[in-house]
């Protein structure tokens, strides 16, 4: 499969193989900081964009064409499989995703389905096939999903939360029910990522965004076993698995134990320490502070060099932000970051 790809830096880095320069991409790399993306969004709402393969393909290709990133990532949303399970989600401009009827009892859990995912979300797989065709092997394509714990958090909280009171009440008042929800969600996600690989995704990234609010024991009990099963499913499909957890620096040992090929670090984790501790086991992705892109070109290049220096020589590094790019980031600054990574990283690969 990989022989068709002209730029294999990203996949080589996932496998900890030597590269000529450090590969780089940006989480949320097709987004509101791009006027071209805004032009697409002016025509349709967010969910329609996700569900229209031609438009999702157009959005996915924007960063490849305009930024010179080393990998494309499917334009979609982590909550697509949750909607397929039968729970309504509404995407709002100000509050983000909102569930009008969040999960509150066992009856609601029992009503959720483990769907025939190809039938319920055909637009995802149609988009992947179309993107692969349009890419013509220029760069690989990442597919993705939310991790079961993060998806369950949305389903129970009903919207983005700061304190996660609702799901933590379930942990300590109704853990059996929470595990029932996590089990059903895991089955759906496993089918979802498998189908993405079959459609043509060459890597899968799992976003466990909200698991960073968990203690070590909470993570071990309510997220780790489910994430580990999904990682195993991805690797069984023959593609690398990337795991991202916002605020997960203190859980790093457990993240590595999931079996992921690549651990994506947020900006609060010291990349040098992470590599010293676990660099013989996994590759790392990240982890520039997104707000650095508010700086001038000199500042951006300086901060890029610091990240590259922290990782040091040798394979196994994918440059990225430590979280998604912010909507008001100047486009030229994102481009400067990509350019700086490509130009400054060559020294570490000689």
Residues marked active site are found at 28, 32, 41, 77, 154
Nearest to 60 by CA among 78, 46, 72: 72
- Give the list of residues 6+ apart from residue 115 with CB closer than 8 angstroms, or none: 84, 85, 86, 188, 191
Q: Give CA 124 to chain center in angstroms.
A: 15
Nearest to 77 by CA among 187, 192, 242: 192
Kind and range of the H or E run holding 297: helix 297-311
3-state secondary structure of 91: strand
CA distance linking residue 50 with residue 240, whole number of Å:
24
How many angstroms separate the Cα of 236 from the Cα of each of 39, 147, 310?
Answer: 39, 17, 32
Length of the chain: 350
Q: DSSP characters for 108-128? A: HHHH-----HHHH-HHHHHHH
Residue with tokens 């983005």: 160
For 178, the token pair is 């929470």
Q: Are 251 and 273 in contact (CB under 8 A)?
A: no
Secondary structure, 3-state, 199-257? HCCCEEEEECHHHHHCCHHHHHHHCHHHHHHHHHHHHHCCCCEEEECCCCHHHHHHHHH
CA distance linking residue 256 with residue 251, whole number of Å:
9
Angle, nearest 10°, between helix axes 122-135 and 175-199? Answer: 40
């Amino acid at each position: 499969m990989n022989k068709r790809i002209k730029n294999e830096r990203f996949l080589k880095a996932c496998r900890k193989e030597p590269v000529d320069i450090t590969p780089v991409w940006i989480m949320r790399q097709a987004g509101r900081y791009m006027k071209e993306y805004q032009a697409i969004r002016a025509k349709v709402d967010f969910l329609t964009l996700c569900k229209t393969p031609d438009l999702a393909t157009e959005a996915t290709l924007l960063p490849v064409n305009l930024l010179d990133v080393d990998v494309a990532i499917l334009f979609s949303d982590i909550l697509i499989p949750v909607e397929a399970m039968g729970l309504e989600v509404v995407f709002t401009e100000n509050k983000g995703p909102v569930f009008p009827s969040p999960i509150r009892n066992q009856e609601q859990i029992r009503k959720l389905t483990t769907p025939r995912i190809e039938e319920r979300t055909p637009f995802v797989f149609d988009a992947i096939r179309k993107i692969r065709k349009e890419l013509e092997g220029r760069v690989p394509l990442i597919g993705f999903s939310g991790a079961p714990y993060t998806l369950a958090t949305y389903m129970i909280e009903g919207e983005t939360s700061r304190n996660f009171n609702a799901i933590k009440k379930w942990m300590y008042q109704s853990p059996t029910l929470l595990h029932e929800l996590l089990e059903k969600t895991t089955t759906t996600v496993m089918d979802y990522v498998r189908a993405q690989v079959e459609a043509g995704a060459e890597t899968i990234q799992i976003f466990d965004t909200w698991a960073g609010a968990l203690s070590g024991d909470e993570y071990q009990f309510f997220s780790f076993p489910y994430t580990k099963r999904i990682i195993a499913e991805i690797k069984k499909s023959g593609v690398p698995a990337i795991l991202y957890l916002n605020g997960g620096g203190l859980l790093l040992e457990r993240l590595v134990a999931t079996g992921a090929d690549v651990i994506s670090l947020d900006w609060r984790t010291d990349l040098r320490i992470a590599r010293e501790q676990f660099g013989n086991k996994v590759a790392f992705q990240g982890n520039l502070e997104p707000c650095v892109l508010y700086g001038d070109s000199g500042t951006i290049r300086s901060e890029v060099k610091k990240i590259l220096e922290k990782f040091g020589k040798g394979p196994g590094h994918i440059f990225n932000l430590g979280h998604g790019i912010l909507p008001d980031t100047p486009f030229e600054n994102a481009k400067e970051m990509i350019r700086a990574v490509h130009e400054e990283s060559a020294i570490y690969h000689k």
